[in-house]
Amino acid sequence: MEPELPEIPEITDEFERELKQAMVRRPAPPNLKRRILQRRENQRTAVSHQRTIWWQRAAASILLAGAIAGGLKWRQTEEQRKGEEAKQQVLTALRITNRALNDMNRRLTAHNRTDQ
């Protein structure tokens, strides 16, 4: 059976009517909504996953920054402690030297008195 041939509408209002009829909305594919919702779910999962990764990276960065800052602070404190220790050692050495010199001075004074 031959397919039914379309009639040519008059090229006036009839044409526009035919055009309007030809342009009715087509039904969407039955699985379009399912695909949209599926992609939406996938995107949300991906975004959630990305957020988790972002937070993990942020936490790791904060930890690393804390460790570096702590290390620097510890080094500074250690240097201060060592400097203080060295200073105390020098002061101790100066006190010992001072005592030795005083002692020497006393002996020399006593020796001079004996000689006189």
Partner 1 sequence: MAQRWHPDFEQLVDEHQSMVFSLAWRMTGDRGLAEEIAQDVFLELDRHMSRIESHEHAMFWLRRVTINRSADALRRRKVRGVDLWVEIEENHGATSEERSSPLSTRLEQLLSTLPEAQRSALVLRYQEDLTPEEIAATVEAPVATVKSNLQRGLKLLRAKATTQLKEYIRGA
Q: What does the alpha-carbon distance between residue 82 and residue 108 come to, in Å, rounded to a whole number? A: 38
Which residue intervals of 1-116 are DSSP H helices?
13-22, 32-115
13 binds partner 1 (CB under 8 A): no
20 binds partner 1 (CB under 8 A): yes
Minimum CB separation from partner 1 for residue 58, in Å?
23
Residues 52-111 that bind partner 1 (CB under 8 A): none
9 with 18: CB under 8 angstroms? yes
1 binds partner 1 (CB under 8 A): no
* Binding-site member from 1, 13, 26, 95 for partner 1 (CB under 8 A): 26
17: Cβ–Cβ under 8 A, 6 or more apart, which residues?
Answer: 9
Q: How many CB atoms lie within 10 A of CB 41?
A: 10
Nearer to partner 1 by Cβ, of 48 and 102: the residue is 48
Among the residue ranges 9-17, 62-70, 72-80, 104-112, the one whose residues contact partner 1 (CB under 8 A): 9-17
Output the six-digit token pair for 18. Answer: 């035919």
Residue numbers of the site for partner 1 (CB under 8 A)? Answer: 2-9, 11, 15-16, 18-29, 32-33, 35-37, 39-40, 43
